[in-house]
Structure 1
Amino acid sequence: MINTIIFDFGDIFVNLDKEASIEAFRKLGLDGPNEELVALNDQFEKGQISEEKFLNGFLKYIPNASLEEIKAAWNLVIGDFPLERLEFLQMLCGRYKMFLLTNTDQIHIAHFEELVGSTFAGDFYRCFEKVYYSYEMGMRKPDVEIFNYIIRKHDLSPKRTLFIDDKKENTDAARQAGLQVWNLQVGEEDVVHLFDKKFETA
């Protein structure tokens, strides 16, 4: 039976509005993401470059934009956090060991905490034994080693651990590490319906 749950963050708890961010960048003159910016984002999510270097990377393509405008457009991806998801998570506290594992950066996390407020953010973080941000770990999903690290660090039983993520490449990597997985379909499924799924829940 499952005794541990590892959750992704974006589109599992906090809703993401990728189109709003893309549209904001379009208004600044950037016609969608490109390979160089995607690579820059990967580096930033691994904590390999500073916030300043990341934001300055956009200036090559939108030289007339200010760093404040770039940061604001970047943060538009962070949407609302439905209260029912926090209440569901709180209901699970004490029944399972729970972890948060997310590919993210310091800009998005700071913006999220400002958006929901310190009380809400504190209530959310307290549900987890440990919160893992990719930019602090120096690695990101779907690297299998990120799952192996958490398994070793907390002496977890992979077959009794469930990983929930909206991206198939991430749940595929977790499955390689021996974990049970739920590849949640955004817009069709919600994490609050976890117990409708056929897992060996504790």
Structure 2
Amino acid sequence: MITTIIFDFGDVFLNLEKEAQMEAFKHLGLEGLNEELTAKNDLFEKGEISESDFLESFIKFIPNASVEEIKKAWNTIIGDFPLYRLEFLQMLSYKYKLFLLTNTDEIHIARFEKKVGISFFSDFYQCFEKVYYSYEMGMRKPDEKIFTTILNKHELSPKRTLFVDDKKVNTDAAESLGIHVWNLQVGKEDVVDLHKQKQLPL
């Protein structure tokens, strides 16, 4: 029986506007993240480089853009967070032990909190036993260590734990540790269908 659920954040609760971000960077002269910028993003999501170091790494490829313009373009990925998903999560929190585990950075979290406001994000965070951000943990999914850290710290049984994420590489890593998983298909499935997908009592 599942007693604990670990949720991803982006494209599970918060809608991500990936095309809008691509368009914003294209407007600045960047066709998309290349290998160098992707590597910098991984470091930033693990808290290994500062916000300024990360943003300035774009200057090499779009020298005419300001740091402020780059930051604004970076944040265009933060979409809306439908209220019905928060209400669903609040209902779940009465029956299950919940955790949030997301690969993210301080820029995106600050933008999310500003966009939804303190009342909304406080209600959201209060649903969880603990919120885990990759940049605070110094590791990111799909590294197995990020899952074992949470399992060990909270004495969770993999057999009683469900992990929900939109990226298969992440759910595969969790599943290899014996954790139950749901690889949510963005655009086809919604997190509020959890009880139908995994036959969980609500």
User: Same fold by TM-score, threshold 0.5 exceeded?
Assistant: yes
Contact kept, 8 Å, 1:2 with 1:201, in 2: the verdict is no
Shift of 1:94: 2.1
**Given the alignment of the two structures, is residue 4 of structure 1 paired with residue 7 of structure 2, yes or no?**
no
Which residue identity lines up with residue 88 of structure 1 in the other structure?
A: F
Shift of 1:200: 5.4
Alignment map for 1:176-195 (pairs within 5 Å): 176-195=176-195
1:154 is aligned to 154
1:134 is aligned to 134
State the alpha-carbon separation in 2 of the partners of residues 86 and 146 from structure 1: 25
State the alpha-carbon separation in 1 of the partners of residues 152 and 87 from structure 2: 29
Contact kept, 8 Å, 1:3 with 1:201, in 2: the verdict is no
**Given the alignment of the two structures, is residue 119 of structure 1 paired with residue 119 of structure 2, yes or no?**
yes
Count of paired positions: 202
2:85 is aligned to 85
Contact kept, 8 Å, 2:165 with 2:183, in 1: the verdict is yes
Shift of 1:111: 0.2
Contact kept, 8 Å, 1:7 with 1:165, in 2: the verdict is yes
**Given the alignment of the two structures, is residue 26 of structure 1 paired with residue 26 of structure 2, yes or no?**
yes
Deviations 1:20-47 (A, max 9, x none): 0011000101111100000000000000
2:108 is aligned to 108
Q: Residue 198 of structure 2 aligns to a residue in which SS?
A: coil
Runs of 4 or more, structure 1, over 3 Å off, are 198-202
Q: Residue 10 of structure 2 aligns to a residue in which SS?
A: coil
**Normalising by the residue count of structure 2, what TM-score does the alignment of the two structures yield?**
0.98
**Given the alignment of the two structures, is residue 144 of structure 1 paired with residue 131 of structure 2, yes or no?**
no
State the alpha-carbon separation in 2 of the partners of residues 156 and 54 from structure 1: 35
1:174 is aligned to 174
State the alpha-carbon separation in 1 of the partners of residues 192 and 39 from structure 2: 33
Q: Residue 89 of structure 2 aligns to a residue in which SS?
A: helix
Deviations 1:146-188 (A, max 9, x none): 0000000000010100000000000000001110000000000
Contact kept, 8 Å, 1:45 with 1:140, in 2: the verdict is yes
Seq. identity, %: 70
Q: Residue 177 of structure 1 aligns to a residue in which SS?
A: coil
State the alpha-carbon separation in 2 of the partners of residues 27 and 161 from structure 1: 43
**Which deviates more, 192-201 or 117-126?**
192-201
Structure 1: gaps (5+ residues): none
Q: RMSD over aligned Cα, in angstroms? A: 0.9
**Normalising by the residue count of structure 1, what TM-score does the alignment of the two structures yield?**
0.98
